Amino acid sequence: MIEPAVYRELGLKDEEYRRIEQLLGRAPTPTELAMFSVEWSEHCGYPRSRPLLRLLPREGKFAPRIAGDAGGIEVAPGITVLFKLESHNHPSQVEPKQGAATGVGGIIRDIFTMGARPIASLNSLRFGELETSLAKFLFAGVVDGIQFYGNCVGVPTVGGEVYFNRCYRGNCLVNVMCVGVVATDRIALGRADGPGNAVMYVGSSTGRDGIGGCSVLASHEFGEGEEKRPTVQIGDPFTEKCLIEACLEALDTGAVVGMKDMGAAGLTCTTSEMAAAAGTGMDVDLALVPRREAGMEPYELMMSESQERMLLCVKAGEEERVASIFHKWDLNAVVIGRVTDDGILRVRDGGKIVAEMAAQDLASPPTYDMPTEQPAYITAAASRDLSALPLPKDYDRALLDLLVSPNIASKRWVWEQYDHMVQINTAVLPGGDAAVLRLKDLPEASGAPPKCAIAVTTDCNSRYCYLDPYVGAQIAVAEAARNVVCTGAEPGGITDGLNFGNPEKPDRFWQFRRAVEGLADACRELRIPVVSGNVSFYNETPTDVIHPTPVIGMVGVIEEVELRCTMDFKQPGEVVILLGETLEELGGSEYLAIAHGIEAGRPPALNLGREKAVQATCLEAIRAGLVRCAHDCAEGGLAVALAECCIRGGIGAELQLPSSQAHLRLDAALFGESQSRIILSVRAQDVEAVARVAESHGAPWSAIGAVGGKNLRIESAAGLRVIDLPVAEMEQTYEGAIPGLMS
């Protein structure tokens, strides 16, 4: 008889334990109990989120490939780009460098385990206010972990985002994304097909690091003063580099039937899920598992999340051939068992059976229909009257205050620590709307354009999601799509990282439900499939709960890399065009938070029909060679977007707000964050052509001035000069903000 305190400590509920006894027909052994606890945890099994995730659309303009640990889109006949976003929030709060580093290592493995060569990483990070010592410590440690692992393993970190808000004080968010390329007919699956085939353990040895990481650490909220360092894994990027090459080489032999990363839940995850996916069983012997610590118990071996390990299903008779490849790379490669035809996962420790259950039972946790309740703050925040707020006395000062805000200021301090040029595919560097990567060395028979490229980005404004999770999630999708469009890419597919509080609290689960519904509706309307993703719950402490943060990782496709577009103003005399329309919307804006200390109001409205028209106009104009600069209007509104174009180009502009904005509050016209807006700069002779494109799609547009001079000068719709700032001063403010705080 197992005491309730034992299974509860592992995260299992009373009814779940009773279900386990029913499935087994007896009380579980300690090893079985540990295995069920990790596989049925929220981090691995998604028992609370899985029913809602079925709402997400899987079809789009590009053929989706959803087949294993990651998903992707076929960007050209025979060529698939695989991508996945994963969270490592709780480990990074406990030990920021290793938490972030092993997050990077894990997401890279999710890509090459499917046969794709990893070509890029991105991230999406959230911390408490950067003025606090804890936030600085976590921020510096996480960035250090990302650069350490990514730079050493040879996968460039090309993009991402960083935000700061007090709601993340007790729970930083570290979401990491990886992108890889594979021939469509060479995608590897995480299946253990073929009774009699070998089950092979490859990679690093197993230790006690990471035990219970998914059930104890990632599937519960932090209690007061809790430290959970033993559950944080330790990564070795040099071993991972060898593992990448060995796995891809082994797949090339044709001897590997299936392969899966020993990530969350380690051997439990790989053995049960590979067998369940194929409808087979496995018989494995833990006595054969390479280990680096003496005296490890069977449950420890099955739960360990030691890094840089894979489980392979290898054709019978090909074991030595495959093992020799891993040995050449100085890696373990040991046959630890065989595939069986009885559907049973049988775990031995030498001659003793320590676990025996149906693989399907272990890999199919019960699901829950969680109660929901709209949080009380929603109505109060939405009804907040913002019309009586005083206007700025000095608009120059207001703009500089936004440029120095860590949420808007340059993130160069971050991305200059990353090697973003290794593999020499990076055609548009970090710091813009999206990074652009060349797709090189594609097979001639693939039918891919010879200069095909992809654009990649991550996006989410969690303040919008806090005020309205449905609209906020839709805006995250729309902005991600807008960002890749600004580079000249057609939005192709997304991966999501859904970060929320405790799902067992009805108000938190209401936020999750509404965000998933918004995400699904936006993707369906924009015809963008969700090909992979991750759910991270329990991101809260007794004093703080994070804002709902559904991070979107987007991949777009560029047929001709030479037509890529960037956000910097280029030459004097270029005409500046504003696509879209500005409304009187201050709710949820960075300006409202910085100038008035308020997080309230309704987030900006999103008209998906208007969004499609603006994106289609921008994309067609770029592909026609009409656009010199394109930049999305986001946090800080029109004034900040124009300032960023000036700063990146090292040149000023003379501008006037459109007459259609004469009725707006001036702060809303300058700093409001109305959606579906893109700034373009075009040659004077191309203005009419761009106008025709806009009109053909029904997109509003206005010519608002020209590039030139050393200052950003903006006049109101009535002709009153309201902003006149040297580009050099804006640049110093924008670039110096985060280094100044971190020094």
Give the active site residues.
43, 88
CA 689 to chain centre: 37
For every residue of 196-255, DSSP letters joined together read T-EEEEEESPB-STTTTIIIIITTSPPPTT---GGGS----HHHHHHHHHHHHHHHHTT-
DSSP H or E segment with residue 82: strand 79-87
Give 563: exposed, middle or buried? Use CB within 10 Å, 0-12, 13-18, 19+: middle
**Percent composition of the chain: helix, strand, coil (DSSP 3-state, to 5):** 40, 25, 35
For every residue of 350-400, DSSP letters joined together read TTEEEEEEEHHHHHS-----------HHHHHHHT---TTSPPPS-HHHHHH
CA dist 554 and 124 (Å) reads: 12
Distances (CA, A) of 124 to 38, 143, 149, 187, 516: 26, 11, 16, 27, 19
Query: Using an 8 Å Cβ cutoff, are 271 and 311 in contact?
Result: yes
* Sheet hosting strand 490-499, strand order edge to edge: 426-428, 435-438, 453-459, 549-558, 490-499, 530-536
CA dist 507 and 501 (Å) reads: 9
CA dist 273 and 42 (Å) reads: 15
CA dist 222 and 219 (Å) reads: 10
Query: Using an 8 Å Cβ cutoff, are 687 and 704 in contact?
Result: no
CA dist 51 and 8 (Å) reads: 24
Place of tokens 């054969």: 288
